[in-house]
Amino acid sequence: MSRPTFDESDLQISQEFLDEVRAALGNAGNEQPIKTVLDECAGVVADYTARYELESSRWRRLVRALALEALHALLNAVPDGIKVAADKARRELEDIRDGKFVTLKKADNPTIAIQPVRGDWGSDARIKPRIGSP
């Protein structure tokens, strides 16, 4: 299952706030500050949930909580409600990563690479010492 896209309309906030963010951060040299934040937060959620298929509404809710906190943090003013929602989203992401939601369907092709464990310090050759004479 591919991850849904996340854009400014998914933030569900006023255009005035978005304009304020653009004005404040655009002067710092970042031409697309909101897109940058959205991409980073979507990446965080994708990393934590790589082994599972999430409904798009749940995925968007998690990205939204992290993105709103990040945008407010860039303006140096994170309201308590947004901070609480972001902390709750982080805890949920950690629980998803740790497999605590047993009802989540495993992804068919997880994007994480799982390497097999090998013994003998990475060697395929096994040394079989002989004791005594041959």
H helices within 5-53, ranges in order?
15-26, 33-48
Confirm if 66 and 86 have CB atoms less than 8 A apart: yes
**Helix, strand, coil percent content, the chain, rounded in steps of 5:** 55, 5, 45
Give residue-wise pLDDT tens across range 64-104. 999 999 999 988 889 999 999 999 999 999 999 998 887 88
Give residue-wise pLDDT tens across range 40-61. 999 999 999 988 888 989 999 9
Q: Give the relative orientation of helices 56-74 and 80-97 as an angle to the nearest 10 degrees.
A: 130
